[in-house]
């Protein structure tokens, strides 16, 4: 039954997409005409005040100047407009207040408006998606009106849109551009995928919609061609936390997707996908509340390459800060940036690229290696190393590891070969039965050059074995490596380890 629902939805999507292409650029930008007539706005703009519920906030009415004074709008302060997405229950979601409160508490002097388009959003998804153009047009009128009336510049306005709200922000920017004005910034928080994936730049959020556009993609996992969040790049900088397909701690929601689609139809989306889809919002809130833990993301070809640890380069704007404090560098093409996060706030993880040279005389072995890093601040836990394939010959392996704490500048590294107890017992019996020498029987690896690059600091560290026999490692052994430039001087605390 759920397959029928999904296929029906795709059929509706196809029909609506055709219609959207025909209506692509039909926008009424005659602001003067709208101001001369009494225009009844289809959406509302609520002025956020700290400590008040959004539903009780003062309403700024389009083209009604007296409401600006009533709501204490300050034209000398920056303007941020928060735009929610599709609604099932017709209620403002709690994250809206959390985001507004985070903005207000950290930015102080700021105007925060919430675009309340619930009456248009609480519809079947395809209809709500169509309504995004209407809301985008009204936001554009609001911004032009504010600029003409109060000299509040459109070029400094920041629109933050979630899901369908991200495309609303894009349509607002498109309409402003048609009137010769350029919007300052748009942040798309997991922009919606259905009805927008694969569409032309005029029919979705795109880098052309503002002076600077950034987007965070947190749920782009596809099933039967359906993706809740849009996968394609739609901004100058597109961030894909944890690859963008799913988020840590949200796996159960993903597993229930099709069961809920079958039971609830399209309304099942909100019940199952809120965790991963909404993670983009909370990552942005995190960037405001934890300013000392700003998250760095790195330009990479795709998530597979990123997981190999080959993309921790910050030269020529190849990395950027996720969230509010992003470096606003316009690019000619969209840049895809990848990163890892924790499952809870604060989400920041520290990224390290490890290059380790391993060699063995055995044909093929699959060692279970772990490493432990010691820095100037603290020591990490033991971290498993996942080799792409079985070890043979002499090769250099590159991989990515992450830490959830800042351990400071790197000083030492422990490398351990974790042998399976059953395997160790077997080799012990073999050595007892067969009179071979220890060197001939036990598998042995040679650890060559070890280089580590810290993504956040861009520091490179080369490690050398502390002792001459430290380059050889056997099952159940652990070897110590120190910074090569400190190898000659053995610290007192290392002598105590013997």
Claim to verify: residue 74 and residue 151 sit in the same structural domain: yes
Based on the fold, state whether residues 49 and 74 are members of the same structural domain.
yes
Rounded alpha-carbon distances, angstroms, from residue 464 to 149, 251, 411? 67, 40, 11
Are 232 and 266 members of one domain? Answer: yes
The pLDDT confidence band at residue 493, using thresholds 50, 70 and 90, is: very low
Chosen domain end from 294, 310, 339: 339
Can you tell me the mean pLDDT for 362-375? 83
pLDDT exceeds 80 at position 36: no
Residue 362 shares a structural domain with residue 421: yes
482 shares its domain with 458? yes
Mean pLDDT, all residues of the chain: 85
pLDDT(6) > 70: no
- pLDDT at residue 35, as a whole number: 56
User: What is the average per-residue pLDDT within 149-156?
Assistant: 96
Give residue for tokens 């989306």: 269
- The pTM score is 0.86
Residues annotated as part of the active site: 163, 190, 277
Determine the Cα–Cα distance for residues 435 and 446; give it in Å rounded to an integer: 24
Query: Are residues 162 and 281 in contact, defined by beta-carbon separation less than 8 angstroms?
Result: yes
Within-domain flag for 305: yes
- Report the domain count for the chain: 2
Residue for token digits 């993706």?
Answer: 227
Range of lowest pLDDT (46-55, 213-222, 332-341)? 46-55
Asked if 216 contacts 280 with a C-beta cutoff of 8 angstroms, the reply is: yes
Band of pLDDT at residue 249, cut at 50, 70 and 90 = confident
Which residues constitute the domain of residue 447?
350-431+440-487
- The residue with greater pLDDT, 465 or 443, is 465
Q: Are residues 235 and 366 in the same domain?
A: no
Residue 331: the pLDDT is: 87
Considering the domain architecture, whether residues 49 and 170 belong to the same structural domain is answered as yes
Does pLDDT of 322 surpass 60?
Answer: yes
Whether the pLDDT of residue 277 is over 60: the answer is yes
Tokens of 414: 């422990």
pLDDT above 90 coverage of the chain, percent: 64
- pLDDT tens-digit series, residues 78-106: 999 999 999 988 899 999 999 999 999 99
**Over the stretch 399-441, which tens digit does the pLDDT of each residue have?**
999 999 999 999 999 999 887 655 455 545 555 555 544 445 5
Q: String of b and e for 472-488 (b: at least 16 CB within 10 Å)? A: ebbbebebbbbbeeeee
Residues 205 and 70 in one domain: yes
Q: Residue 255: what pLDDT?
A: 52
């Amino acid at each position: 039954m759920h397959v029928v629902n999904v296929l029906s939805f795709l059929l509706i999507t196809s029909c609506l997409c055709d219609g959207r292409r025909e209506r692509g650029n039909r926008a009424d930008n005659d602001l003067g005409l709208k101001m001369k007539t009494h225009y009844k706005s289809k959406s509302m703009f609520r002025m956020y005040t700290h400590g008040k519920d959004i539903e009780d906030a003062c309403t700024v009415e389009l083209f009604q100047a007296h409401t600006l004074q009533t709501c204490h709008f300050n034209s000398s302060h920056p303007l941020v407009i928060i735009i929610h997405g599709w609604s099932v229950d017709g209620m403002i979601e709690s994250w809206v207040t959390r985001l507004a409160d985070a903005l207000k508490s950290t930015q102080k002097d700021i105007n925060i408006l919430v675009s309340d388009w619930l009456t248009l959003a609480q519809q079947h998804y395809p209809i709500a998606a169509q309504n995004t153009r209407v809301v985008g047009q009204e936001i554009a009128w609001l911004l032009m009106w504010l600029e003409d009336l109060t000299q509040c510049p459109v070029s400094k306005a920041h629109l933050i849109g979630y899901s369908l709200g991200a495309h609303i922000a894009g349509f607002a920017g498109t309409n402003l551009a048609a009137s010769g004005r350029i919007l300052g910034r748009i942040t798309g928080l997991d922009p919606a995928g259905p009805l927008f994936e694969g569409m032309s730049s005029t029919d979705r959020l795109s880098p052309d919609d503002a002076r600077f556009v950034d987007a965070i993609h947190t749920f782009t996992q596809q099933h039967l061609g359906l993706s809740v969040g849009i996968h394609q790049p739609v901004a100058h900088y597109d961030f894909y936390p944890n690859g963008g397909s799913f988020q840590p701690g949200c796996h159960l929601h993903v597993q229930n997707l099709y069961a809920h689609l079958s039971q609830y139809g399209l309304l099942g989306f909100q019940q199952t996908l809120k965790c991963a889809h909404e993670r983009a919002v909370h990552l942005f809130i995190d960037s405001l509340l934890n300013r000392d833990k700003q998250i760095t993301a790195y330009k990479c070809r795709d998530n597979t390459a990123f997981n190999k640890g080959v993309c921790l380069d910050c030269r020529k704007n190849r990395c950027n800060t996720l969230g509010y404090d992003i470096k606003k560098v316009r690019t000619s093409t969209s840049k895809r940036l990848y990163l890892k996060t924790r499952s809870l706030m604060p989400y920041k993880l520290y990224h390290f690229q490890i290059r380790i040279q391993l060699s063995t005389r055995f044909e093929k072995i699959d060692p279970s290696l772990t490493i432990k890093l010691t820095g100037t601040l603290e020591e990490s836990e033991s971290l498993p190393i996942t080799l792409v394939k079985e070890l043979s010959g002499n090769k250099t392996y590159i991989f990515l590891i992450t830490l959830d704490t800042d351990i400071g500048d790197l000083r030492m590294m422990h490398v351990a070969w974790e042998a399976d107890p059953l395997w160790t017992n077997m080799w012990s019996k073999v050595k007892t039965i067969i009179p071979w020498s220890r060197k001939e029987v036990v598998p042995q690896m040679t650890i060559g050059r070890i280089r580590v690059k810290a993504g956040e600091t861009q520091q490179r560290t080369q490690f050398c074995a502390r002792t001459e026999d430290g380059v050889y490692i056997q099952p159940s052994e652990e070897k110590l490596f120190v910074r090569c430039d400190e190898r000659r001087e053995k610290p007192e605390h290392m002598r105590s380890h013997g």
